[in-house]
Amino acid sequence: MEKRKILVTRPQLPPLNEFIPLLADIWESRWLTNNGKYHQEFEKALAHYLGVPYVCLFANGTLALMAALQCLRIKGEVITTPYSFVATTHSLKWNHIKPVFVDIEPDYCNLDPAKIEAAISPQTTAILPVHVYGNPCAVDQIQNLADIYGLKVIYDAAHAFGVRKNGSSIFNYGDLSIVSFHATKVFNTVEGGAIICHDLKTKKRIDYLKNFGIANETTVIGPGINAKMNELQAAYGLLQLKYFDTVIDARKYITDKYKKGLQSIAGIRFLDVADDIDYNYAYFPVFIDELQFGQSRDAVFEELKKHDIFARRYFYPLISEFPTYRSLPSAKGLHVAHEMSRQIICLPLYPDLPDEIVDLIISIIENMSEVSAAKISVNVLSDLNRNHDLHKK
Ligand SMILES: *Cc1c(COP(=O)(O)O)cnc(C)c1O
Read off the pLDDT of residues 26-61 as tens digits, 9 standing for 90 and up.
999 999 999 999 999 999 999 999 999 999 999 999
**Integer Cα distance of 366 and 372 in angstroms:** 10
**Integer Cα distance of 154 and 93 in angstroms:** 15
* Residue 1: pLDDT over 50: no
Tell me the average pLDDT of the chain.
Answer: 95
- Of 182, 283, 316, the one to substitute when testing ligand 1's pocket (max ligand atoms within 8 A of C-beta) is 182
With a 6 Å cutoff on the Cβ, whether 193 touches ligand 1 is yes
- Asked if 3 and 357 touch (Cβ cutoff 8 Å), the reply is no
pLDDT digits (tens, 9 = 90+) for 58-96: 999 999 999 999 999 999 999 999 999 999 999 999 999
Tell how far the Cα of 35 is from the centroid of ligand 1, in angstroms: 23
Assign 275 to helix, strand or coil. coil
With a 6 Å cutoff on the Cβ, whether 171 touches ligand 1 is no
* Residue 3: pLDDT over 80: no
With a 6 Å cutoff on the Cβ, whether 110 touches ligand 1 is no
Instruction: Give the phi and the psi of residue 220 in degrees, each rounded to 5.
Output: -115, 115
User: Rounded to the nearest 5 degrees, what angle is found at the Cα of 350, between the Cα atoms of 234 and 347?
Assistant: 130
With a 6 Å cutoff on the Cβ, whether 62 touches ligand 1 is yes
pLDDT digits (tens, 9 = 90+) for 106-142: 999 999 999 999 999 999 999 999 999 999 999 999 9
Residue 132 per-residue DSSP state: G
b/e sequence 57-83, b meaning 16+ C-beta within 10 Å: bbbbbbbbbbbbbbbbebeebbbbbbb
Specify the CATH architecture of the domain 244-389.
Alpha-Beta Complex (3.90)
User: What is the arithmetic mean of pLDDT over 240-257?
Assistant: 98
With a 6 Å cutoff on the Cβ, whether 85 touches ligand 1 is yes
Assign 232 to helix, strand or coil. helix
What pTM, to 2 d.p., does this model score?
0.95
Spatial CB neighbours of 94, under 8 Å, sequence gap ≥ 6:
66
Q: In the prediction, which pLDDT does 372 show?
A: 77
> Which atom of ligand 1 approaches the CA of 87 most closely?
10
Domain boundaries, the chain: 6-241, 244-389
User: What is the arithmetic mean of pLDDT over 14-19?
Assistant: 98
pLDDT digits (tens, 9 = 90+) for 256-297: 999 999 999 999 999 989 999 999 999 999 999 999 999 999
Question: At the top level of CATH, which class does the domain 6-241 belong to?
Answer: alpha beta
* Residue 354: pLDDT over 50: yes
Element (H, E) at 37: helix 37-50
Up-side HSE of residue 237: CA atoms within 13 Å toward CB? 35
Q: In the prediction, which pLDDT does 393 show?
A: 44
- Of 81, 85, 179, the one to substitute when testing ligand 1's pocket (max ligand atoms within 8 A of C-beta) is 85
**Integer Cα distance of 91 and 158 in angstroms:** 13
With a 6 Å cutoff on the Cβ, whether 351 touches ligand 1 is no
With a 6 Å cutoff on the Cβ, whether 103 touches ligand 1 is no
User: What is the arithmetic mean of pLDDT over 373-378?
Assistant: 72
Helices first, then strands: H and E counts in the chain: 11, 17
Q: In the prediction, which pLDDT does 117 show?
A: 98
- Asked if 353 and 10 touch (Cβ cutoff 8 Å), the reply is yes
Tell how far the Cα of 192 is from the centroid of ligand 1, in angstroms: 10
- Of 88, 137, 176, 180, the one to substitute when testing ligand 1's pocket (max ligand atoms within 8 A of C-beta) is 180
34: left (phi over 0), alpha (psi -120 to 50) or beta: left
**Integer Cα distance of 234 and 35 in angstroms:** 10
- The length of the chain, given as a count of residues: 393
Q: In the prediction, which pLDDT does 370 show?
A: 82
